[in-house]
Structure 1
């Protein structure tokens, strides 16, 4: 009798665990996957770029995908670490910051092929500025303080050319966004600025800037930059689904091409944290990485 009762209790408990597991799985399946991005362009532009990708990811991972804008670069780091969002489009420097802040609990999944050798451009309207050394005594704007392509790497290359932005320039500013940097230079608010080459080429293609008036006078060598990152403790199956979804995008497919054109990607490739050691070293050398 006791044996029978014990068996019944075990059966009930086992059934309960199965129901709980099924319920948790249902909750996950019916949950919302939250995505964000560093605000290197205007919020409306980021939303526009993400919409087709979000719709695509919904089908691939079986969850509702929502884009959650953040106010600044630092907020994107905190949002991922504090589980306010599940995946973030980071620049190389913000990834390094997130990795540092989380004690290595952030994993980069994929990057665009273009991000293996990303570049920054320096722009000006001034006839007497033709190389980095000519910036001495001029006014200048970076993008966001936490931007890889709009601040960290431009600063690094300036220092390599023996130009210290803090002491050799008349004044430096931070526009906050790449397109705002172009607007500041074009509008005469500063003599020169540095930004992401991808945004520059997009603005030129869309005829939002006249390259005959605002011209590129220096293009940096290539470096690793943007990636899509998640928390390291994310479910392994979901990580794989996300990675596979990005890697499956094919520009020969018209629907995929729309997504990739908006992301300014020829294809997505796997990436790893080790790819960003040079960014981390540059940040430390420039005194920009706070531990």
Structure 2
């Protein structure tokens, strides 16, 4: 009888352990730099791919704003976050350096922002004086911080020199605001602009780029430093293994607007941190 009880207990414990493993969920979030439907569309095949590679359930967890993306990662409500360079810096500062950037797109090693307009009179940054100008989110690297830093370098202080400073909240919303004439110019991520042009979602006879910034490091996939090293390495390898020569890899990389993913490190974002401090945003 004792032997039977022990066997039943062992079976029960194995069942509980198996259930716990089955219920383990790996949660992923992204900064909301595009519309919710676009973010969900981009996430779907990546989530399925990571499930297969990690051997656990993966869920996409949308957030309402950039600050929420930072907080959900440092409070470990999600295990992986897609950050811009500035949101990575914010997460690093908020957590006391307890976040690790794993990988970035190859394109993020030399990322750029563009300034767009539908006003024929605007040809240079200096022509923005006295105009209504939109950035994206206040916490956006490519939609606010870096465009602002290049404006400051050109001797332009937005709050002093522009008629009005607006924040659209997202790159696609900035394009819409310029196209609709709500503002005379806007700054945004070059990748989103190029996608809108390729998809013919913007009339380039009306809206055009008049200034492109110098390159800088930008987006990355970040985890908490408390993540076990083995899982961290497995996750990084999953991204690094994505290959455009396979149907699955091509689908994911195309949606992520990436040629491939490459390793990154916190030191790559020191210039972003310096720009944020110089602009009084950190």
Instruction: Give the aligned partner of residue 193 of structure 1.
Output: 186
Deviation at 1:30, TM superposition (A): 3.7
2:160 corresponds to 1:156: no
Aligned to 1:83: 76
Shift of 1:22: 10
* Contact 1:29/1:62 (8 A) holds in 2: no
2:66 aligned to which of 45, 54, 73: 73
Match of 2:198 in 1: 205
Distance in 1 (CA, whole Å) between partners of 2:17 and 2:161 is 59
Aligned with residue 254 of structure 2, among 221, 246, 261: 261
Which of 155, 160, 170 is the equivalent residue of 1:167? 160
Q: For residue 101 of structure 1, report the CA deviation from its aligned partner.
A: 0.1
Residue 3 of structure 2 is matched in structure 1 by: none
CA 20–269 in structure 1, closer or farther in 2 if over 3 Å, else same: farther
The alignment's C-alpha RMSD in Å is 1.8
Aligned partners of 2:21 and 2:230: how far apart in 1? Answer: 12
- Alignment of 1:97 with 2:90, yes or no, is yes
Q: Distance in 1 between matches of 2:99 and 2:29?
A: 14
Q: Which ranges of structure 2 fall in alignment gaps of 5 or more residues?
A: 1-5
CA-CA distance at 1:184 after TM superposition: 0.2
How far 1:27 moved relative to its partner? 2.8
- Say whether the 8 Å CA contact 1:120–1:153 is kept in structure 2: yes
Aligned equivalents of 2:173, 2:159: Cα separation in 1: 21
* Unmatched segments (≥5 aa) in structure 1: 1-11
2:220 equivalent to 1:238: no
1:228 aligns with 2:258: no
Instruction: Describe the SS at the equivalent of 1:34.
Output: strand
Q: Residue 119 of structure 2 aligns to a residue in which SS?
A: coil
Q: Which 4+ residue blocks in structure 1 deviate beyond 6 angstroms? A: 19-26
What TM-score do the two structures reach when normalised by structure 1? 0.91
In 1: Cα distance, 2:204 partner to 2:56 partner: 43
Partners of 1:258 and 1:214 in 2: how far apart? 29
Please give the residue correspondences for 1:93-132 in structure 2 after superposition, counting only pairs within 5 Å: 93-132=86-125
Q: Deviations over 1:179-205 (max 9, x none)?
A: 000000000000000000000000111
Q: Name the count of aligned residue pairs.
A: 274
Higher-Rg member (1/2):
1
